Amino acid sequence: MSKRVLLIIGGGIAAYKSLELIRRLKDAGVSVRVVMTDAAQRFVTPLAAGALVGERVFTDLFDQTQEFDVGHIRLARECDLIVVAPATADLMAKAAHGLANDLASAVLLATDKPVLMAPVMNPHMWANAATQRNFATLQAQGLRFIGPNEGEMAERGERGVGRMAEPEEIRDAALAALSDGPLKGKRALVTAGPTIEAIDPVRFISNRSSGKQGYAIAAALAELGAEVTLVSGPTNLPVPFGVKRIAIESAREMLEASEAALPLDVAVMVAAVADWRPTKEAPTKIKKGAAGVPAIALQENPDILATLSKLGKKRPKLVVGFAAETNDVEDNARAKIAKKGCDWIVANDVSGDVMGGAENQVLLITKDKTEAWPRMAKEAVARKLAAEIAKSLTAKARRK
Ligand code: C5P
């Protein structure tokens, strides 16, 4: 059966380009159904869009015939991908806040399918803090975005970021989102970044992890089609395309969010989890003064990698840990597999400039082999690891 896209056309002058998008999707063998907002109908008519898709266009949440016929729940489910083009500031805001007062927003709230948005708006509206907040919220929920691009706006003389991506770009992003990667249908967890452990409301213990390697792995797994949850400590990195990010601070929050992501096919624990946390978190800021220098007693944090590795029946099929070592890298990593109960360890020597750097040089250690990978960009390490994971999970599926 051909792949099905539900195209939601929002109200912007770029709506005319969505007619071209329909044609390009159909040329690529994709079947297209169209929902138009009220505002969209000011720019292009349902008749024009309907003529291109060869069926009626859906416009009204409260139209009795339309609702009996198909209904917003069926529209939301009977597709493989929802594309919102143009995605206006208003549609993004509604989706970010879960509003559902028209057909387009109700469909977005009701769907369990991947969503790709192609925003378009005036550059000031795009740069506005409210839109940027909504954009970040939607990305963290795993929605994908293409554009907006920089360029000339419809208003004369205005330039900036806010142009809708071109129909071919949107088509390519839609086809990529529709493609069946080798990890399609597989659920993956990646932990990344540092954790921070509070001493009092303003002070904490943490480490220098940038989160780069973990984020790159989450992106690479999503590229291969996996449904990825990224549980991340504080970092400055954008959420990778198509990944659901859960932001946490402490090791205990990371453990809780990781367990909530079960069941899983693969868990890749890249986070630099703080080994210890202050035994007591002072409820108010510890004052300098009479009591002298405070002693901070520490206690051990839960080991997330070991906990997931020893889950018994609920254990992810493949558990991958990381090991940052400064000496005897391979021996220490093998000992770690045994101690933590994971399947693989990606070990790196952090005596150089790996932490926070752009490149990494690792050993992939499994129960029966050790592979030394050449030094390469963290993204390349991520893609190679994602390919190994795909190979292992598809081999496991065949053995079953
Ligand atoms: O024991 P060590 O910290 O060297 O182990 C590193 C590996 O264990 C990494 O994969 C890291 O994400 C994971 N880990 C964890 N929870 C901890 C400590 C480490 O998941 N509390």
Q: What is the pLDDT of residues 62-110, one digit of tens each?
A: 887 777 777 889 999 999 999 999 999 999 999 999 999 999 999 999 9
Q: Is the pLDDT of residue 396 over 90?
A: no
Instruction: Output the pLDDT for position 64.
Output: 75
Determine if ligand 1 sits within 6 Å of the CB of residue 215. Answer: no
Domains and CATH numbers, the chain: 4-178 (3.40.50.1950), 187-399 (3.40.50.10300)
Distance CA 268, CA 393 (A): 13
Strand pairing class (204-205; 197-198):
antiparallel
Determine if ligand 1 sits within 6 Å of the CB of residue 254. Answer: no
List the strands of the sheet with 4-9, edge to edge. Answer: 31-36, 4-9, 81-87, 115-119, 144-145
Determine if ligand 1 sits within 6 Å of the CB of residue 344. Answer: no
Give the distance (Å) from ligand 1 centre to CA of residue 325. 12
Vertex 321 angle, CA 315 and 327, to 5°? 150
Query: Both ends of the chain: CA-CA distance in Å?
Result: 27
Which atom of ligand 1 is closest in space to residue 307's alpha carbon?
20
Determine if ligand 1 sits within 6 Å of the CB of residue 305. Answer: yes
Determine if ligand 1 sits within 6 Å of the CB of residue 322. Answer: yes
Residue 356 pLDDT level (bands cut at 50, 70, 90): low
Q: Is the pLDDT of residue 262 over 70?
A: yes
Fill in the DSSP letter of residue 148. Answer: P
Taking residues 197-213, what's their average pLDDT? 95
Which residue in 122, 128, 149, 207 is the catalytic one? Answer: 207
Give the distance (Å) from ligand 1 centre to CA of residue 163. 44
Determine if ligand 1 sits within 6 Å of the CB of residue 251. Answer: yes
- Is 104 or 289 the better-scoring residue by pLDDT? 104
Per the annotation, the verdict on 101 as an active-site residue is no
Indicate the top mutation candidate among 206, 277, 304, 305 to test ligand 1's pocket, ranked by most ligand atoms within 8 A of CB: 305
pTM: 0.74
